[in-house]
Chains A and B, each alone.
Chain A
Amino acid sequence: SAVISQKPSRDICQRGTSLTIQCQVDSQVTMMFWYRQQPGQSLTLIATANQGSEATYESGFVIDKFPISRPNLTFSTLTVSNMSPEDSSIYLCSVRQDSEQYFGPGTRLTVT
């Protein structure tokens, strides 16, 4: 199975600032995803980031707020821009490999 790491693991940020979350995979994968998980809730897909194409955003999420980069088959970044307290969540990177989907450990973001 794919091994996924995320940086940072957690952060506390002030409103109005931006945070970039990094996702590194130990093998090359085509399909990569970014999810948000609010406290005690299920997983909500933010966008799909396939290498070589623009990220595809789900309803309710826009590129200006959550810009994504996917420069190669092992790495991606998600930026949370102009943060507000409502952005406080766990952000999870996920990949598909060998017909299964795996998740990273998550980045716990608190916006004050």
Chain B
Amino acid sequence: GENVEQHPSTLSVQEGDSAVIKCTYSDSASNYFPWYKQELGKGPQLIIDIRSNVGEKKDQRIAVTLNKTAKHFSLHITETQPEDSAVYFCAASIDFGNEKLTFGTGTRLTIIP
């Protein structure tokens, strides 16, 4: 089955700097890659996703890039703010319409004011 690795496990950045979280996946058939943000005491919130027919997707300060050849995808957060502090999870799915999501192990991001 699919295996997703996520790095780093913890990340601290100065407010205003950029943060990058990377994930690799094992199954080349995976074609859907969402990112979730989980704040303390809350459920995961979908913040951005990408499908295998595109290489990059942006939404304001958040972007995701996908390298299908290398089987890795990354989350980029620019101009970080204190409210970006949370745990971020990547995930992958082979056939999202019918198959489950496989999650990474999570990255705890701390923004230092």
Contact = CB atoms under 8 A, between A and B. Distances in A.
Interface in B86-108: 89, 96-97, 100-101, 103-106
B99 to A, nearest CB: 10
Q: How large is the interface on B (under 10, 10 to 19, 20 to 34, 35 or more residues)?
A: 10 to 19
Contacts of A92: 43-44
Q: How large is the interface on A (under 10, 10 to 19, 20 to 34, 35 or more residues)?
A: 20 to 34
A43 B46 contact: no
A43 B103 contact: yes
Contacts of A45: 100-101
A99 B103 CA distance: 17
A99 B53 CA distance: 15
A101 B46 contact: yes
A76 B49 CA distance: 26
Interface in B55-81: none
Nearest to B101: A101
Interface stretch (A66-74, A79-87, A103-111): A103-111
B34 A43 contact: no
Interface of B is mostly: loop
A100 B103 contact: no
B49 A100 contact: yes
A66 to B, nearest CB: 16
B25 to A, nearest CB: 14
A103 B44 contact: yes
Contact of A103 (B41, B43, B100, B104): B43
B42 A105 contact: yes
Contact of B42 (A33, A42, A58, A106): A106
Interface string A42-84: 1101001000000000100000000000000000000000000
Interface of B: 34, 36, 41-46, 49, 89, 96-97, 100-101, 103-106
The 3 A-B pairs of least Cβ separation, nearest first, read A103-B43, A103-B44, A105-B43
Interface of A: 1, 4, 33, 41-43, 45, 48, 58, 92, 96, 99-106, 108
